Chains A and B, each alone.
Chain A
Amino acid sequence: MPEMQVMEDRIYDLIFICRPATPEEEINKIVATLEHSAGEHGGKIEKTERWGTRRLAYRVAKHREGFYVYMVVRATQGDIIKELERRLKVSDAVIKYQTIRLDEELKRQQKLVHRRERRAARRPRKPVAAPSSPPQQAPPPVEQPAQSD
C-alpha cells in the first residue's frame, strides 16, 4: 500500500534584477509570466515586491544599477523553480536572478522561538526586588539565648 506522504510546503525567495532602463510594462509582463508559470506547476506566488532601481555592488552585464524584484514562492515540489528560472534566463531584461529555499530555515527559527518560550514559561520567575524594599529573608537579630552564664 502506498503511504501517503505529507507534502509540506516549500518556501522560496526569488530575487531577480532587470536592466535599469527597463520599462515598467515589461517588468509587469515578466511578473505575470512567472505567476502564470507558478500556477501551472502547482505553486503560488505569495508576495511580490519591487525594490526599484538600486546601485549594484559590482558590474553585472556592464550595468552599475538594476531594478530589483523580490518574490516569495510557495510550492509543494521543487520542479517549479526550474521552470521559473528557465523563464528568467530566457528573458532579455533580466540580468541576474537567485532562488533560495527558506522553509527549513524558517522552521528552525520557529523551533528556537518555541523552545525559548517554553523555557521561559517553565522557569519560575523570581520577584524583582526593588532596591528600597527591605530584605525579607533577614533573620531577626534577637533570638540568641541570653542565659549564657
Chain B
Amino acid sequence: MSDQQNPAPPVPPDPQAAPEATAPAAPEAKAAPAAPHSQGPSRGHSGPGGPRREGFSGPRRDSGPRPSGPGAPRRGKRQYFRKKKVCRFCVERIDFIDYKKGDMLMAFVQDRGKILPRRMTGTCSRHQRWLGEAIKRARNIALMPFATEL
C-alpha cells in the first residue's frame, strides 16, 4: 500500500513514524525543488536538491570587479570585459580624423575590411562617428578596401 503511494521515499527520518513520515516527506521532497522558499531542502534529506542549490551561486565567484556598463559579462557566456580602454583620439586630442591617412585608419578595421565596433577599440562615440565617416570616404577613393577576401 505504502509502496504504491510512495515508490521511493528519500530518507525516513523517524523509524517509528515511518508510514506517517513518508507521506508528508515525499510531497515535501517533491515540493522542495519547486518551492524555493522552504529552508529544509539544502540541509537534511534532499540529496538531489543540494548540489543544484550550491551550483546556482557559482558564477558569482568569477566576476571579481563588478562590471557595470557596456562590457558587463553575461552569465554563462564568455567574458569580453577586459581592462578599461581609453579613446585614443581623446587622449591625443585629435579633432579632425583625416581620411587621407590610410595607415592610421587601418588600425580600426578588421582583416576583412569591416569597421571595428567601439567596444573593441575603446573609442568614444563622437570619434567613432567621425572615424566611420573617414573610413567611408577613404573607401570611396580607393584608399581603403570595402571588403577583402580572407
Residues of A within 8 A of B14 (CB): none
A98 to B134, CA, bound (A): 13
Partner of A66, one of B96, B100, B142: B142
Query: How many angstroms from the CA of A98 to the CA of B143 in the assembled complex?
Result: 12
Partner of A96, one of B93, B95, B142, B144: B142
Q: Which size bracket describes the interface of A in this complex?
A: 10 to 19
Q: Which residues of A contact B34 (CB under 8 A)?
A: none
Chain A residue with the shortest CB-CB distance to B143: A57
B142 touches A57 (CB 8 A): yes
Q: Smallest distance from the beta carbon of A117 to chain B beta carbons, Å?
A: 11
Q: Contact at B137–A58, with CB atoms within 8 Å?
A: no
Contact of A100 among B96, B137, B145 (CB under 8 A): B137
List B contacts of A81 (CB < 8 A): none
- Closest Cβ–Cβ distance, residue B25 to chain A (whole Å): 71
A32 at the interface (CB under 8 A from B): no
Judge whether A116 is part of the interface by a CB distance below 8 angstroms. Answer: yes
Question: A-contacting residues of B (Cβ < 8 Å)?
Answer: 93, 95-96, 99-100, 137, 139-146
Interface residues of A (CB under 8 A from B): 15, 17, 56-58, 60, 66, 70, 96, 98, 100, 105-106, 108-109, 112-113, 116
